């Protein structure tokens, strides 16, 4: 009797089972939607949404958290083990590559590859900008600032840091737009990347070296850490200078501008154009930032 009933109602039973399974899956998905589990060790549990807020605990890998709010990549969470409420850097807590978070892991860094765009095109009403040129006029600053920034992004992301770029292709970003990204995400560092030029556009120069610039006092510790690291480049370091460049003046976040060699110095340019030199810059900048954040971040 039961067998006969099952056979005669098989389609209805299957449909009902599928509905129940789907409903259960949706419920489970909704229940887990606002939960996360820390992946690396040493995730800092802070009193506010930023690395400058006080850390009250260091969370181990596997700590379950209920997400209460999200802002600029930071999660306001409640711990399930003791019901305490605090903030964690969402990209750090959910990182699949970090084993142990470090101070730089919590940092938000904006990289600004200088110049960009086709001079024959308009970008927000402005013509594209090649930047400075090599002695033969065939190679442009905009190309090497972008290549260097990409190498820096790759090196920094390995530390767990969150990295944004003002451009990732050959376009012009108007100068007044550059600080907006750092302000929006309350970045911990904005780094503008350039290559210097001296003398006439079509002539070589004997000027050589890298330079570091800052403007606001909240950037001095950052520029000092980067200068000390960039002393390791195979090009002489000309030192630090305070200059009112727009990209440094119109931002409230710590910001520096790096001139990483003279593009119209043939000896400098031999290095600038190589991937090896770009990787050296990336490695040293990462070391400098690692030192800076270690010295300026409270951890438990």
Residue 133 buriedness (CB in 10 A; 0-12 / 13-18 / 19+): middle
| Sign of the alpha-carbon torsion through 210, 214, 220, 221 | negative
pLDDT of amino acid 120:
87
pLDDT of amino acid 191:
98
pLDDT of amino acid 188:
98
pLDDT of amino acid 109:
98
pLDDT of amino acid 203:
86
3-state secondary structure of 293: helix
Give me the helices (H) in the chain, please. 2-8, 10-33, 90-93, 141-157, 178-184, 220-230, 246-249, 266-272, 275-295
Q: Nearest to residue 109, comparing CAs of 192, 215, 211, 232?
A: 192
pLDDT of amino acid 4:
57
Residue 11 buriedness (CB in 10 A; 0-12 / 13-18 / 19+): exposed
Residues 6+ apart with CB under 8 A from 15: none
pLDDT of amino acid 201:
73
pLDDT of amino acid 23:
46
DSSP one-letter code for 64: E
pLDDT of amino acid 41:
98
* Mean pLDDT in consecutive groups of 10 residues from the start of the chain, 300 residues: 55 54 44 83 98 97 98 97 96 97 98 95 88 94 98 98 98 95 97 94 90 98 98 98 97 98 97 98 98 94
b/e 270-282 (16+ beta carbons within 10 angstroms → b): ebbbeeebbebbb
pLDDT of amino acid 122:
85
Q: What's the whole-model pTM score?
A: 0.88
pLDDT of amino acid 124:
83
């Amino acid at each position: 009797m039961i067998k006969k009933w099952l056979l005669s109602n098989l389609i209805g039973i299957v449909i009902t089972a599928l509905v129940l399974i789907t409903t259960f899956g949706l419920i489970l998905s909704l229940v887990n939607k606002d939960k996360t589990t820390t992946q690396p060790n040493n995730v800092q549990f802070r009193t506010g949404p930023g690395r400058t807020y006080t850390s009250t605990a260091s969370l181990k890998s596997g700590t379950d958290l209920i997400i209460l709010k999200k802002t600029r990549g930071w999660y306001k969470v409640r711990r399930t083990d003791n019901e305490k409420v605090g903030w964690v850097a969402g990209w750090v807590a959910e990182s699949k590559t970090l084993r142990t978070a470090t101070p730089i892991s919590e940092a938000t860094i904006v990289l600004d590859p200088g110049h960009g765009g086709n001079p024959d095109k308009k970008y927000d009403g402005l013509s594209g900008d090649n930047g400075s040129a090599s002695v033969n006029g065939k190679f442009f600053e905009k190309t090497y600032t972008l290549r260097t920034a990409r190498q820096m992004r790759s090196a920094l992301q390995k530390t767990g840091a969150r990295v944004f770029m003002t451009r990732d292709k050959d376009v012009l970003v108007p100068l007044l737009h550059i600080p907006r990204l750092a302000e929006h995400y309350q970045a911990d560092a904005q780094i503008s990347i350039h290559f210097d030029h001296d003398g006439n556009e079509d002539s070589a120069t004997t000027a050589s070296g890298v330079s570091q610039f800052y403007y606001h006092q909240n950037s001095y510790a950052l520029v000092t850490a980067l200068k000390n690291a960039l002393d390791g480049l195979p090009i002489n370091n000309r030192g630090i200078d305070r200059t009112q460049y727009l990209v440094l003046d119109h931002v409230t976040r710590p910001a520096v501008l790096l001139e990483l060699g003279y593009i119209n110095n043939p000896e400098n340019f031999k290095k600038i154009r190589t991937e090896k030199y770009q990787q050296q810059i990336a490695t040293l900048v990462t070391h400098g930032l690692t030192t800076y954040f270690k010295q300026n971040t409270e951890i438990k």
